[in-house]
A and B are shown apart, each in its own frame.
Chain A
């Protein structure tokens, strides 16, 4: 059903109907953003790149082959945008934070492989996986990511050492990754 509508939207967009392109953006924005976010070391660039990916897709929409899955086509454009931006980021950080750039380069292949494997409603699955964490781990993850508490504050909140909070965060991320793999939205590496 989605495919029928989406293909219609593509045709109408090519005929100049921007409202149809708006529907395409609204449908695929989470997927495009997730692909870009997973590949970019600097999260502050994600919104800009998501916008850029949709602008690029709009310009190249005539090259899209009908009925070949627009989502996958957009995800490829998103990956290209992210790779280009990452190269710029490496160049910039080679001068300032050499080791950080080097570290990102060493994991680039693995990151790209895993980012390429993301499928389905990743953000929804992510939230479900957070709920499966143990109570303490869930509170630490929510505090760190959603309430903007830093590690020291969390350590204070839960009467732990900062090191213990860091390890707890790491284990929680690991548990989330395994949960996403079980749900089939992330590859096993």
Chain B
């Protein structure tokens, strides 16, 4: 059994809290004793397993995207062409002309070496390395010829935009303004330094950074500029709202989210920012964000479960958002008559709505569910997808999980849900089974790009229901 002093050192070491002198002393303790080394090895492994157990699984989709392509060189070139995006360019007279984009539109494979210099916790896409390794001389020639052809067909108006920063998935009317051009992006289009993304009414977009698991959900009626400031991420939210899930950022290079009113400094966290004409609201689901009012440099630190509203003429006071949600579970008829429903919702003080998707196929969802979600958001009411775990989930686990995974991965991309609200039947008493189901649901939602609070399962009603998200 290790003694008290050694245990103190072990825990301090695993926390990364030992000073240089303490590390030296600890090292000497280890050198002297094989038992001490074995003990530390065991503790380090348990520590690492615990650390990794709280993380979502690595997305198979990301790995598949990053796989090297060893195929026919002609196919590779054709693939570049297929993946490039159509540009919409206005000529001097305002007439819209369609052209092809000047650079390869393939999804943003990141350079492996660049990720090694960072301490990001997310995914990488090192396919470009393998991609180039596998190119034959013939392919190189074909690409050069293709590049020359592309260059010669490129309009002067298209700016140079450097390496891709992120990719975008979207629903509804979303455009990218790059320099003087407005682009209607293809699915999974690349985003470059200085791109301005505009989401129109009832549209939404998910922006995924290339080298890590950071994702930003852009809500309807929003304008966001994405930029790179010497390796630090810079987002300028001109208007509208984002929900962000930010992986740990490299030391000295925090992500900055700027609005016309304030700037938020982010090291790695989940949060919502809403920018209105006269105020900015920040809500933090997990982690810590510092927000500074531009006018007087007054700042506030906002931590898990807190929110702050920044306006020009009122003090910045941090409030808790952990008040119990007041839930309203909507029927199909209430969704169909959402105008009337919303007045009831407001008068009853309901702040969270749900719609049950458990036994409905995606094609049978109410036709105006998207509008209902949009209207709820405009009234600052959250909207969750409701999942009822069936009583017999233990016996039919595989089929239930497959069904719910398929459904959630589709719906979270198409609908702007704030999260998922899960109910547990009293009959399901097996905690391990329940945790397996929750982990499966959580991972599905996380992998589908909904920016959700990492590892947070907010208990919302006695012991029966959990929700995660914003």
B50: A residues at CB distance < 8 A: 126, 141, 145, 173, 176
Beyond A25-B63, A55-B130, A146-B54, whether A103 also contacts B30 by CB under 8 A is yes
B463 within 8 A of A: no
**A44 CB → nearest B CB, Å:** 4
- Judge whether B338 is part of the interface by a CB distance below 8 angstroms: no
Contact with B along A135-152 (1 / 0, CB 8 A): 000000100011010110
Verify A145–B54 contact, CB threshold 8 A: yes
A170 and B7 form a contact (CB under 8 A): yes
Instruction: Identify the closest chain A residue to B287 (Cβ).
Output: A148
Task: Return B2 CB to nearest CB of chain A, in Å.
Answer: 8
The CA-CA distance from A97 to B24 in the complex, in Å, is 11
A37 and B37 in contact (CB under 8 A), knowing A103-B26, A163-B8?
no
The proximity string for A residues 112-148 relative to B, scoring 1 for CB distances below 8 Å and 0 otherwise, is: 0111000000111011100100000000010001101
**Contact A107:B37 (CB < 8 A) given known A33-B58, A47-B122, A176-B46:** yes
Number of A-B contacts (CB under 8 A): 176
Within B15-54, which residues are at the interface with A (CB < 8 Å)? 15, 17, 20, 23-24, 26-27, 30-31, 37-38, 40-54
A103 to B49, CA, bound (A): 19
B45 contacts A103, C-beta separation under 8 Å: no
| A81 to B221 alpha-carbon distance, docked (Å) | 45
Report the Cα distance A23→B119, complex, angstroms: 29
Chain B residues whose CB sits within 8 angstroms of the CB of A167 once the complex forms: 4, 7-8, 11
Chain A's interface: helix, strand, loop or mixed, by majority? helix
Separation of A177 and B1 alpha carbons in the complex (Å): 13
| Given contact pairs A18-B64, A99-B23, A170 touches B11 in the complex (Cβ within 8 A) | yes
With A48-B124, A55-B66, A146-B54 in contact, do A106 and B27 touch (Cβ < 8 Å)? yes
In the bound complex, do residue B124 and residue A51 qualify as a contact, i.e. CB atoms below 8 Å apart? yes
For residue A52, which residues in chain B have a CB less than 8 angstroms away from its CB? 124, 126
Contact B52 A46 (CB under 8 A): yes
Report the minimum CB–CB distance from B359 to chain A (whole Å). Answer: 25
B44 in complex: contacting residue of A107, A127, A171, CB < 8 Å: A107
A128 to B27, CA, bound (A): 33
Report the bound CA distance from A96 to B47 in whole Å.
23
Tell me if B435 counts as interface (CB < 8 A to partner A).
yes
Q: Are B8 and A126 in contact (CB under 8 A)?
A: no
B10 in contact with A170 (CB, 8 Å): yes
- Quote the shortest CB–CB distance from B34 to chain A (angstroms): 9
**Contact partner of A29 among B4, B57, B432, CB < 8 A?**
B57
C-alpha gap A41/B27 in the complex (Å): 16
CB-defined contacts of B4 to chain A, threshold 8 Å: 167
0/1 per residue, A96-109, Cβ < 8 Å to B?
Answer: 01011011001100
Residue of B15, B27, B49 touching A151 (CB-CB under 8 A) = B15
Q: Which of A99, A173, A176 contacts B24 (CB 8 A)?
A: A99
Cβ-based interface call for B115 (8 A): yes
Q: Which residues of the other chain, A, contact B23 by a CB distance below 8 angstroms? A: 97, 99-100, 103
Contact of A124 among B51, B119, B432 (CB under 8 A): B432
B123 neighbours in A (Cβ, 8 Å) = 47-48, 51
Cβ A99 vs Cβ B51 within 8 A:
no
The reply to whether A44 and B119 form a contact with Cβ atoms under 8 Å apart is: yes
Residue of B7, B38, B436, B455 near A166 (CB, 8 A) is B7
- A155 in the interface (beta carbon within 8 A): no
Asked if B248 is at the interface (CB within 8 A of a chain A CB), the reply is yes
Closest-by-CB residue of B relative to A151 is: B15
Interface string of A148-175 (1 = CB under 8 A from B): 1011000000000001001101110110
Residue contact A29 to B13, C-beta cutoff 8 Å: no
Most chain A C-beta atoms within 10 Å of own C-beta, residue among B27, B43, B53, B432: B53
Q: Is A8 an interface residue (CB 8 A)?
A: no
B115: which A residues are within 8 A, CB to CB?
48
Type the 1/0 row for A79-112, where 1 means its CB is closer than 8 Å to any CB of B.
0000000001000000001011011001100110
- CB interface residues, B 79-133, toward A, < 8 Å: 115-116, 119-124, 126, 130
Q: Given contacts A55-B66, A102-B27, A170-B11, are A38 and B124 in contact (CB under 8 A)?
A: no
A136 smallest CB distance to B (angstroms): 16
Question: What are the residues of chain A within 8 A of B124 when measuring CB–CB?
Answer: 48, 51-52
A47 touches B213 (CB 8 A): yes
Question: Does B68 touch A at the CB level, under 8 Å?
Answer: yes
Contact residues of B with A, CB < 8 Å? 2, 4, 7-8, 10-13, 15, 17, 20, 23-24, 26-27, 30-31, 37-38, 40-55, 57-58, 60-64, 66-68, 115-116, 119-124, 126, 130, 213, 248, 286-287, 304, 431-432, 435-436, 455
Binding site for B on A (CB under 8 A): 18, 21-22, 25-26, 29-30, 33-34, 37-44, 46-48, 50-52, 54-55, 58-59, 88, 97, 99-100, 102-103, 106-107, 110-111, 113-115, 122-124, 126-128, 131, 141, 145-146, 148, 150-151, 163, 166-167, 169-171, 173-174, 176-177, 180, 186, 189
